[in-house]
Chains A and B, each alone.
Chain A
Amino acid sequence: MKIKKFKVLVIIFSVALLAGSASLQSALAAEPYHLGVALAITGTGALYCKDGVDAISLAVEEINAQGGFLGKHPIKLFTRDTHTKPDVAVREAKDLILRDKVRAILGTYSSACAVAIKPIAREYKVLHIAAISNSENITKINYSPYTYQVVPNSYMQAKAVVLGVAELAKRKGWKEYVTIASDYEWGRSTQQNTVSLLKQMAPELKLKKEFWPRLGETQFTSYITAIMAQKPDFVVGSVAAKDNVAWMQQAKAYGFFEKIPYPGSLISVSELIVQAKTLTRGLVGLCRAPFFAHMDNPMMANFVKEFRAKYGRYPSDWAVMEYDAVYALKQGIDKAGSIDTEKVKDAMKSMTIETTRGKLVFRAIDNQLSCSSYLGVVADDPNYAFPIYHDLVEIKGPDSWRPEAEIVDARLKEKK
C-alpha cells in the first residue's frame, strides 16, 4: 500500500516537474530583448537621426517577423532623444539601462554623446554600438570591451580625404590651406587627424588658419568672408548635419566654391537629397555609407527596397549604418547562441559579419568595423531625383584605419 502511495507521489511530482520546466521554458522563450536607442531626435543631429531610427525600426521588424533574436527573443525597442547633448545622453542612457533594462544601446549622433555613454555602458555591462558618431576616441583610448563602432571613424575618414587631397595638391600645385570644423568632439578630432595626416603625406602644404564655428551655427557669413580673406589654395571642412546645410548654402551664395576648392567635405546622402536643387555639382565630397555604392549586394538591395516601401524615400548613410548595427548585434547573438551580454560581447570580438556594405570584420584591438570611406564627384544621375556620386572611390577600412601600434602608444600615454 505504502509503495503504491509512493509511486503515485513520484508520478505526481514528475508531472509537476515536467509541467514546471515546460512553463519555465516557455517563459524563457518569451523573454524579450530590450534594445535601447539613444539618438538625437531633436537638435543639430535630427537631420541624420530620423533615418537612423527608421532603419533600426525596419531591422527590428524584420528580425521580429522571424521570432526575434535566436528565433525566440522578440526585440522591444526603447528610443530616447539625446538632444545632441552629452548630459542628456548620459541621463537617457542610465534611464534606458536602469528602468528599461536594455541589454544594448545603439546610437549616437554626437561623438561627445558616444564618449559620455561609453563609461556608463561599461559600468553596467551593456553593449554599446556607435553607428553615426565616429570620433576615433570612442574606441581608440579609454577602451571599453562593450563598445563597438560600425561607422568609419574620424581617422579613417580623414585618411581617405588626405589621400584624395594630397593627390589633388600635387596635381594642382596647391601650397596653403585653411580648415573649418564644428567646435566639438567630432569636428576637432576629424580636423586634427586631417591636419596631422596631411603633414605626413604632403609636408609641403601649410595650414594658414583654423576656423571653429560653434555646433548649431546658423549664420556662416563671417566665416566665409574671413576664409576668402585668407586666399587659401583650398579648404578642408568638417561640418555636419544641419550646420553643414547652412554652411554649404551660404558659401554657395557667396560664390565660394567657384573661387576656392573645397575637396573632401562631408556630403552624405542626406545632404545629396536635402540639397538636391542647390548643391554645387562637381564638388568632391566624402561620405560614410552611400547605398548606391553597394546595390550589387543583395542585403543592400533588399534594405533599400524595404526602406523605400516603408518610408517612401531612399536611405541615407545614417540609415545604412544603424541597420547594419542591428544586424551586427543579431550576428553576435547568433554566434554566442545566447542573449547574455557577456557572451555576445565576447562573440563579437574579431567577428566577421555580413552587412549591407559587404563582409566586414571587427578589429580586435579597438572593436572598429573594417568599413570603407567613399570619395566622389557630386553629379546628377538619371536614375535618381537627387545628385549622387560619380567616379566613386572606395577607401577600404584596413587601408585607412590607424595602425595598431599607434593605438597601443596612445593607450600607454593615456595610462601615464
Chain B
Amino acid sequence: MDVSLLIAQFMSGLSRGMMLFLIASGLSLIFGVMNILNFAHATLWLVGAYCCYTFWYVLQESALGLWVSIGLAAIALAVIGWIIEVILIRRVYDRDLPEQLLLTYAMVLIVGDLIKLTWGVEDRIIVRPNLVSGPIFLFDIPLDSYFIVVILVGISVAIGLWLFLQKTRYGHIVRAAVFSREMVSALGIPIPRIYTGVFVLGIFIAGLAGAVQAPVGSITLGMDMAIIIQAFCVVVIGGFGSLLGTLVGSIIVGEVYAFSILFWPQGALVLIFIVTAVILIVRPWGLFGTPMRV
C-alpha cells in the first residue's frame, strides 16, 4: 500500500483523536480533581456547538466571524459551567457516585430539552470560510484544511493545560487536591473555590470542543450521546484524571478507528471497545492513571 495513503489515514485518525481529546480532557480533569463523573459533559459540548452557531449566524458577514464565534462559545459555556457548579454540582460533592450520576444524567435530559426549546429540532449548519473549506495538500496528500485547525487547537489545549498544571501555582494546588483535598484545605486554601475553577475550566474546554466541532458537519440533537461513549472509552484507556493519559487515549482511539476502517471497515467500533475492555480488565485505572480514590 502507498505510504502517502497511510499518512493520510494517520492524519485523519489524528484529527479524530484530537476532537475526542478536546471533549475528554475536560471530562477527565473534572473527574480527576473533583471526583465527579459528569455525564452531562457531552451535552454541554453540544450546547457549545449551538452557541457557536448562534454567534456565527450574527457575525457571518465578518471575515473572522467563525473564529470569534468559537471563542465566544467557549466563554459562554464557561459562564454556564459556573452557574451549574454553583447551583447544582457543589451540593453533591460529598454524595455517593450513583447520586452524582443521577444528577448529571438529569442534567443531560434537562439541557437536551432546553436545547430543543432554544434552537428547535432543525439541523444547523455553519458554512466554513473559504480558508478552511477546501483541501490542502501535504506531500501530495489531500487533507481537509479545517482538520489542521482541529489538530492545532487540540495540541494548544494539551500544551496549555500541561503548562497550567505544571508551571502555575494554581495548577500545583489543583494537582495537590487530586491527591489530598484534606491537606490542601488544612493549608488554608479554599477547596470549593478550587473546585469551581476546575469545573469552569472543564466546561470551557467542552464549549471550545463543541464550537470547534460545529463546522465539521451539521449540528443536531442527539450528537452528544453518540460522542460521550467514545469520550468515556478515551478516559478509561488513558486513565481518569491524567492529562497525558487522555491525550494518548484519544490518539489510540482515533488511530485504531482510522486504520480499522482502512483494513477492517466492519470492525472499526468493535476494536475500540475491545481495547477499552482489555484495559478495564488488565489495568482498570488506565494507562497513565492512578488507582481510584475510595
Contacts and interface: CB of A to CB of B under 8 A. Distances in A.
A26 interface: no
A396 interface: no
A220 B15 CA distance: 11
A212 B266 contact: yes
A229 B221 contact: no
B133 to A, nearest CB: 6
A222 B134 CA distance: 17
19 contacts: A44-B222, A46-B122, A211-B261, A214-B269, A216-B223, A218-B213, A219-B15, A222-B12, A224-B12, A226-B9, A226-B261, A229-B1, A229-B8, A242-B218, A245-B125, A245-B217, A246-B217, A275-B125, A278-B127
A277 B13 CA distance: 28
Contacts of A252: 133
A317 B2 CA distance: 42
Which of A221, A224, A228, A229 neighbours the largest number of chain B CB atoms within 10 Å of its CB? Answer: A221
Interface of B: 1-2, 5, 8-9, 11-13, 15-16, 19, 112, 116, 120-123, 125, 127-128, 132-135, 142-147, 213, 216-218, 220-223, 226-227, 257-258, 261-262, 265-266, 268-269
Contact of A221 (B127, B144, B220): B144
Q: Is the interface of B mostly helix, strand, loop or mixed?
A: helix
Interface in A10-50: 41-44, 46-47, 49-50
Which of B128, B145, B213, B218 neighbours the largest number of chain A CB atoms within 10 Å of its CB? Answer: B218
B16 A219 contact: yes
Contacts of A173: none
A143 interface: no
Contact of B261 (A218, A222, A245, A274): A222
- Sort chain A's interface into a size bin: 35 or more
Contacts of B257: 222
Contact of B146 (A44, A253, A275): A253
B144 A274 contact: no
A400 to B, nearest CB: 29
A137 to B, nearest CB: 21
Contacts of A246: 216-218
A224 B261 CA distance: 10
A140 B262 CA distance: 34
A229 B121 contact: no
Contact of A212 (B135, B262, B265): B265
B226 A225 contact: no
Would you list the 9 A-B pairs with minimal beta carbon distance, nearest first? A246-B217, A221-B12, A222-B258, A229-B5, A255-B135, A253-B144, A245-B218, A43-B222, A225-B8
Contact of A253 (B19, B135, B220): B135
A288 interface: no
Nearest to A259: B142
A64 interface: no
A249 B216 CA distance: 7
Which of B19, B145, B216 neighbours the largest number of chain A CB atoms within 10 Å of its CB? Answer: B216
A42 B216 contact: no
A84 B133 CA distance: 31
Contacts of B262: 222, 225-226, 229
Contacts of B133: 252-253, 278
Which of A214, A219, A228 neighbours the largest number of chain B CB atoms within 10 Å of its CB? Answer: A219
B220 A46 contact: yes
A209 B265 CA distance: 9
Nearest to A46: B121
Contact of B222 (A83, A254, A259): A83
Interface in A34-86: 41-44, 46-47, 49-50, 83-84
A223 B213 CA distance: 18
A245 B145 CA distance: 18
Interface string A223-264: 111101100000000000010011101101111000100000
Contacts of B258: 221-222, 225-226
B122 A50 contact: yes
Given A218-B216, A218-B226, A249-B217, 14 more contacts: A42-B116, A50-B120, A216-B222, A216-B226, A218-B227, A226-B258, A226-B261, A228-B5, A249-B216, A253-B135, A255-B135, A274-B123, A274-B125, A278-B127
